[in-house]
Structure 1
Amino acid sequence: MRGAGRVREITGWLATGGVPAPQQIVSPDSPCRVLLAATARALHGRDCDDLRYLPILSRFRSTPEPLRRAAVARAAARAAVAPQHVGEIDGDQIAQWVVEHYPQRWYPGVVFGSPHGGAVHLATAMGVPWLPSEFEMAVHWPQGSVDDPAGALVHGGGVVDRLLGANPGLAVRQVHDPAGRGHLVGCTITLVARWCELPVPYRRFLAACLAPASPVIMLRDARTWPVLDAGTRHSFQVGGPASGLEPDDYLPTSEQLGRVLRHTGGDRSQWRAPAVACPIGFAEHSVEPAFEESVGSWAETAGSALHRVLFPRPEALSAATADLYRGWLRGAGKTGNRCVIECGRLIDPWQVVRAGLVPYWCENAARRTVSAAEWWLAGSSSFSSVDVLPEPPGLDSEAVAGLAQWRAVASFGRRRGALDRVAARGYPGNPVPTRRATEVLRGQPYDLPRPAPLPVGAALGGLRENGTSLGLLVC
């Protein structure tokens, strides 16, 4: 199989003809993309120094705002999938691209499911691959508008019909979130394509690389959000839990919505959102029930046990994984007293293990996400050092944590607390690449030898012990 070392991260493409390749389809701005890359590099024994991609929202910062928005929109349109090519996308080709990230060898287990930094660290500790249950893409929306989610749904309807017509094994969740993606939602639509069955390339990979009767872990994001059933296997949501806002904040009467739209070039008086008939559903990064059933059927046939891990909030899995790492490190004779708080794209699992650190991953820089990290630190036995990697989100919002809150997180270090200066210097408007996490963590002293791989059974037991009180369900 092709190794991750030979996978070149493509950051944009001109939609001028031809069938797009998987690396041109899967959005480089998506959490799934960077988490897959980080996991694969860790299993290759490498850090993330080559992950230099900068999100589109970070570009043209020296340009006056109206001109910058136009330049960013043009860049986003060039990087997006052209609507006329969507029907040529093959979900199995994407799945093949995913498995080609990993070295071909025997693995003692596998992790499936929702994108989460905890999945990356669990897979790294156990020495197993993480196979996402979804991929995300941005599709060009000509004449789109930030304040027109109803129009985004209309445009998305035709696009999704073409995608699903060619891929009966997929379901699509369309997301329109100006708070999370800024003015990019006015020129592109976001589609989260979720597999409804175990794709053939995944099956081949498991048959070739999964040791007989090895356990299978399914991680599922169980957060809920108002969802509109827009058609067969097509659903739609305005906003999302990762934005740091609540569903009511997206109502046309919301002052919060007005501030978000002013920041992104929209107008609250023009806000048009489709009525949501189904009040509550699972949010965009959940796992399709049919996919979970398909994995379960495969596991039963293969003589493997399927273990499900459901997290009601990302911080529950982050805390349980961090506590699990601390126990794993101490069981190997290490102190487990140095902590790193990662955020979003700023993650490097190989360097974490190399330095013997306890990793806690924040989904993003939302205030409530950072508050959860503070509460976990406050309730944990003290750490001698806490290094904090705050990912600048690329836009300003009342929902975004300020640097003072990030400094408060670092202050939990008993002897040393450090907030990364490079990330802080451009915060919140100037994102930094994943490799910045590598640069910071390379400065940590080595703590070798690396602990023996964490057995899958011990990992599940640790998650159950540490996460049950946080609402984590392990079954």
Structure 2
Amino acid sequence: MVSVGSVARVLVAATARALRGADCADLSHPSTAGRFPGAPEPVRRAAVVRAAGRVALSVDQAAAVDAERVAGWLVDQYPAAGRFPGAVLGSAHGSAAHLAVALGVPWLPAGFEVTAHWNDGAVDRPDRARDHGAALAGRLLRGNDDVHVRQVHCPATRGALAGATVSLAVRWRRVPAAYARFLADRLDPGAPVLLLRDARTWPVGDAGGGHSFQVGCPASGLDPVDFHPDAPALRQVLRCAGGDSGRWDPPQVSVPRAPAENGVESGFEVSLRDWAVRRGHPVRRVLVPRPEVLSAATADLYRGWLRAAGKTGDRLVVECGRLLDPWQVVRAGLVPYWCENATRRSVSAAEWWLAGSEPFSSVDVLPEPPGVPSPAWAGLPQWLAVAAFGRRRRALDRVAARGYPVTSVPTRRATEVLRGQAYDLPAPPPLPVDVALAALRASGTGQGLLVT
């Protein structure tokens, strides 16, 4: 039921493996968006759509989604025995997984992604996508009254798939019972719970009933105005996806600044606090204005953590999207910086952070190819500029770079690259939560990171 290529699914798998002392060598599910880089563009688009059809849910399967069973499946990824000194919940972010591993605690998402068929779809008809998604969401909501469904129609990130499938971000409006049982059974007495919230906003159409709709998304690297019918960026995106900007007629926006698809429902936070008060667990909230702010703060935290354990903290790996491996990072004593995706904005933020940081002796860069063309993606020269910050070692993964940006690389590629790094064991002892929060506050407050 959970989309194979969704970031949240990969992050849970990677965090669970790291807590067991295992890497991500078995995570081999690439996106369907870029499996055919050598074919002419129309042929490639058709092949991509056929491949997506084999993994997307049918209408009946989407109606059968059980959000509570999904929550149970997520917590079952973690080791079956032992207790944890805390937990991290909330928005999907690669540095949240790294933070959880440094703390020695699980990470759990506040929602999950579902991809369903749209048999008569068109990438340039967001109005029809909204109508089809609303019907799907209505059937899904009949069996799940504790979720909100945010539909995202974004040809800039999904390419031709936006005309063949619909993407539904299913967000819990209260802590699911499986999460509550897991936390009650597995947390140490009085252990804190961290809630990470992505604070980005986006224009949304919400007529009520538990389904909302947005055209485009922050992860596209574009602004809401770039999805206007007259925008040059939209014309280029639709042309690459096989669409026509002349037919683009987005639905009306009712909420100009709603939490974007990676946000956390307010009811989820309220119910988490209520549960925590009854159980005697403090809840700490980390509000993230932009993904790169948490990435930079977590990288700084790792550097301090490694140096406090007598390690150099002088080797950096710049990860991207699903290309990450928290266990290999800890095993090699690396500092991780996570880019949400391959947009110029994400890569520029990494450059600015590196420019203002103490130099690293080595910089390894793992650029995840987005799989679809877009004017917002960073070129390979910009990724090479990130690697150039290394004083002695500067490495850009050639496999990820080959065929960039329309190829696709599985998560296990990050494992293959990081296995080549020298061992730096034993790993530092887990960070206490209060020490980690102090480090996040010291590093991120100036950039808008709010820790409460």
Code of the residue aligned with 2:335 in structure 1: it is V
Separation (CA, whole Å) in 2 of partners of 1:311 and 1:153: 29
For 1:147-166, list aligned pairs within 5 A.
Answer: 147-166=124-143
Q: Does 1:32 align with 2:8?
A: yes
Q: 1:29: Cα distance to partner?
A: 1.7
Cross-structure match for 1:364: 341
Residue 456 of structure 1: how far off its partner (Å): 0.9
What secondary structure sits across from 1:50 in the alignment?
coil
- After alignment, is 59-68 or 354-363 more displaced? 59-68
Aligned-residue sequence identity (percent) comes to 62
State the Cα distance separating 1:412 from its structure 2 match.
0.4
Q: Which moved more, 1:322-331 or 1:199-208?
A: 199-208
Q: Distance in 2 between matches of 1:380 and 1:161?
A: 49
Q: Tell me which of 51, 56, 61 is aligned to 1:80.
A: 56
Q: CA deviation at 1:62?
A: 3.3
Q: Does 1:277 align with 2:254?
A: yes
Q: Which amino acid aligns with 1:109?
A: G
SS of equivalent residue, structure 1 residue 112: strand
CA distance in 2, matches of 1:221, 1:470: 14
User: Is 2:322 the counterpart of 1:345?
Assistant: yes
Residue of 118, 126, 147 corresponding to 2:103: 126
* Separation of aligned partners in 2, 1:318 and 1:255: 31
- CA offsets 1:94-128 (integer angstroms, 9 cap, x no match): 00000000002200000000000111000000110
Residue number in structure 2 paired with 1:102: 78
- 1:424-435 alignment, distance < 5 Å: 424-435=401-412
Note the C-alpha offset of 1:405.
0.3
Shift of 1:87: 2.2
In structure 2, the residue matched to 1:90 is 66
CA contact (8 A) 2:37 2:403 kept: no
Identify the match of residue 193 of structure 2 among 212, 216, 222: 216
List aligned pairs for 1:134-153, cutoff 5 A: 134-153=111-130
Secondary structure, counterpart of 2:54 in structure 1: helix
In structure 2, C-alpha distance between the alignment counterparts of 1:86 and 1:28, rounded to whole Å: 15
Asked if 1:335 corresponds to 2:312, the answer is yes
Cα deviation, residue 65, structure 1:
2.4
Q: 5+ unaligned residues in a row in structure 2: which ranges?
A: none
| 1:448 shift after superposition | 1.0
Contact 1:230 1:236 in 2 (8 A): no
1:326 aligns with 2:326: no
Q: Distance in 2 between matches of 1:258 and 1:278?
A: 25
Matches within 5 A, 1:284-433: 284-433=261-410
Residues 325, 358 of structure 1: 8 Å contact kept: yes
**CA deviation string 1:209-260 (max 9, x = no partner):** 1111100000000001111113222111000000000000000011110000
Q: Structure 1: any 5+ residue segments left out of the alignment?
A: 1-24
Q: CA deviation at 1:142?
A: 1.1
Query: What secondary structure, in the 3-state scheme, does the structure 2 residue paired with 1:461 have?
Result: helix
What's the counterpart of residue 23 of structure 2? 47
Residue 185 (structure 1) shift: 0.5
Aligned equivalents of 2:439 and 2:36: distance in 1?
A: 45
- In structure 2, what is the Cα distance between the partners aligned to 1:164 and 1:143? 23
Query: Which region of structure 1 is more displaced relative to structure 2, 340-349 or 25-34?
Result: 25-34
1:231-250 correspondence to structure 2 within 5 Å: 231-250=208-227
Mapped to 2, the partners of 1:390 and 1:230 lie a distance apart of: 39
1:28-70 CA distance string (max 9 Å, x none): 1211111111111101110001111121012233333222222
Let me know the Cα RMSD of the aligned residues: 0.9
- Read off the aligned partner of 1:175 and give its amino acid letter: V
TM-score for both structures, normalised by structure 1: 0.94
* CA contact 1:139–1:189 (8 Å) conserved in 2: yes
- Offset at residue 429 of structure 1 (A): 1.1
Give the counterpart letter for 2:320 in structure 1.
Answer: C
Aligned residues: 451
State how far apart, in whole Å, the 2-side matches of 1:231 and 1:207 are: 33
Cα displacement (A) at 1:145:
0.3
Distance 2:134 2:98 in 1: 37
Give distance in 2, aligned partners of 1:317 and 1:171.
Answer: 26
Choose which of 417, 420, 423 in structure 2 pairs with 1:443: 420
SS at match of 2:181: helix
For the residue of structure 1 that corresponds to 2:361, the secondary structure is strand
Q: Distance in 2 between matches of 1:277 and 1:381?
A: 46
Paired position in structure 2 for 1:71: 47
Quick one: distance in 2 between partners of 1:155 and 1:116? 29
Q: Secondary structure at the match of 2:212?
A: strand
Residue of structure 1 in register with 2:444 after alignment: 467
Higher relative contact order (CA 8 A, sep 6+): 2
Look up the SS of the partner of 2:391 in the other structure.
strand
Per-residue CA deviation, residues 177-200 of structure 1 (Å, 9 max, x unaligned), is: 000111100010000000011111
Give the CA deviation at 1:470: 1.0
Distance 2:449 2:201 in 1: 15
Please tell me whether the aligned partners of residues 151 and 211 of structure 2 are also in contact (alpha carbons under 8 angstroms): yes
Does residue 267 in structure 1 map to residue 247 in structure 2? no
395-404 or 172-181, which deviates more: 395-404
Ranges of 4+ aligned residues in structure 1 off by more than 4 Å: none
**Worse-superposed segment, 285-294 or 424-433:** 424-433
